Amino acid sequence: MQRFLKETELVNFSHPEIEKLASELTKGTLTDAQTAKNCFIFVRDEVRHTGDFKDNITTIKASDVLIYKTGWCYAKSILLAALLRANNIPAGFCYQRLSCSEYVKDVYCLHGLNAIYLKEFGWYKVDARGNKEGIEAQFTPPIEKLAFKLQEHEFDLSEILENPLPEVIDALKKNRTYDEMIHNFPDIKN
């Protein structure tokens, strides 16, 4: 489990703003599940999804996602992992391959989410991308309520990773604006 608790350049949970927020999100909680839910709700509801709002910035590091309060699903998952790991809750990265026709017709891309290890339930997947009409992700362990139900030609990447996929980090580093990202989403074939 230690590898799902480590700090990295992107999951930079010792940043003062992340430390402060991580501590605030534990107030009044008695279990890791309660703390995890607070972290999830904060990232889902308080950080804008860059694609939904057409924000012209691409954040990568957890601290930048928190400071600018915006991020693509991939960046939001990095912030959520940082908040969880700061609270000693193991967190990993998961992906789905989905249609991204909402942005560009006939395009598929990876969608980033998290897996959280909860003592009471084991590994539990959550999707903090942000709710909107037609998307209602929730934190209801042991039942997973993710943002998207898989459709034809879509699939889950089953592995829980300790770090974001290299394809995702590469896309976030290279595509700094909204328009650049929607034309260069990260993707992998089955």
What CATH number does the domain located at 2-91+114-147 have?
Answer: 3.10.620.30
| Token representation of residue 54 | 């057409």
Looking at the predicted structure, is the pLDDT value of residue 71 above 80?
yes
Whether omega before 90 lies within 30 degrees of 0, making that bond cis, reads no
Q: Computed from CA positions of residues 178, 188, 64, 50, in that sequence, does the dihedral angle turn out positive or negative?
A: positive
CB 160 within 8 A of CB 123: yes
Instruction: Tell me which H or E stretch contains 173.
Output: helix 166-174
Q: Which residue has the tokens 């009471």?
A: 120
Domain-wise residue ranges, the chain: 2-91+114-147
pLDDT score for 12:
98
Closest CA to 149 of 100, 104, 115, 98: 98
pLDDT score for 173:
97
From residue 129, how far is each of 51, 121, 190 by CA, in Å?
A: 10, 22, 23
Q: Report pTM.
A: 0.97
Q: Which residue has the tokens 């929730």?
A: 138
Closest CA to 101 of 30, 136, 152, 32: 152
pLDDT in tens, 98-127: 999 999 999 999 999 999 999 999 999 999
Percent pLDDT > 70 in the chain is: 99
Core vs surface per residue 47-80: b (16+ CB within 10 A) or e = bbbbbeeebeebbbbbbbbbebebbbbbbbbbbb
CB 72 within 8 A of CB 89: no
Looking at the predicted structure, is the pLDDT value of residue 190 above 70?
no
